Amino acid sequence: MSPKARVFLITTSAVVALDQLTKYWVRANIRPYSSADEVVIIPNWLSISHAINKGAAFSALADFEYRLAVFFTFTAIAVVVIGVGYRMIAANDRLVSAALGTLLAGALGNFIDRLWAGQVTDMIKVYAGSEPAKSWCISHFGMSVWPIFNIADTAIWVGVGGFLLAHAFVKDQPADSPPADGPQESAPSLD
């Protein structure tokens, strides 16, 4: 198995498992929208809650009748695009492979929820903290609590960010130069 395949499979599997296990734990232990059950991690900054999201990010399309068909279509397109991107990277490109694996895991994590229940379980609740940060967030964003999200949502952003960072710091090689890991053997020429 190539290094990129190993990293891709391990990353995808680990993130999907973490996402599904956290969602299972939240559904089993925290009532939806119950502030009494909320688990405070860092007071005024971070807690674990339970929200149900029938839509996409920020509950977009939550009331749209055909939302599941739209989400399944976008997930299928994302899987194909990630697959094509994976096939295009070098066999030893672990960073882009990890980024694509994380991105795929995020898409699959929320897809599993929608397939299983027609909705997504969210649990990570981030607050603006205390003053003056709280007032600043309210005046600039109109809120002091970020919309609740989950591990899969985070994986999508981390995957996209990792992919962009990898490409921002990789130097393009001229078309006629050998790959960074040295010249490759080729078949004898018939010339």
The tens digit of pLDDT for each residue in 6-33 reads: 999 999 999 999 999 999 999 999 999 9
The tens digit of pLDDT for each residue in 84-94 reads: 999 999 888 99
The identity of residue 174, as a single letter, is P
Predicted confidence (pLDDT) at residue 135 exceeds the cutoff of 50: yes
- The torsion defined by the Cα of 96, 154, 127 and 123, in degrees rounded to 10, comes to -160
pLDDT of residue 68: 84
In the block, tokens 């970020």 appear at: 146
Give mean pLDDT, residues 53-74.
79
Predicted confidence (pLDDT) at residue 80 exceeds the cutoff of 70: yes
Are the CB atoms for 41 and 47 separated by under 8 Å?
Answer: yes
Residues marked active site are found at 122, 153
Give mean pLDDT, residues 159-188.
66
Predicted confidence (pLDDT) at residue 183 exceeds the cutoff of 60: no
Give mean pLDDT, residues 109-126.
94
**Sorting pLDDT into bands at 50, 70 and 90, what band is 173?**
very low
d(C-alpha 41, C-alpha 48), whole Å: 7
The reported pTM is 0.81
> In 10 A of CB 24, how many CB atoms?
11
d(C-alpha 142, C-alpha 127), whole Å: 13
**Sorting pLDDT into bands at 50, 70 and 90, what band is 143?**
confident
Q: Which residue has the higher pLDDT, 60 or 128?
A: 128
In the block, tokens 């739209």 appear at: 70
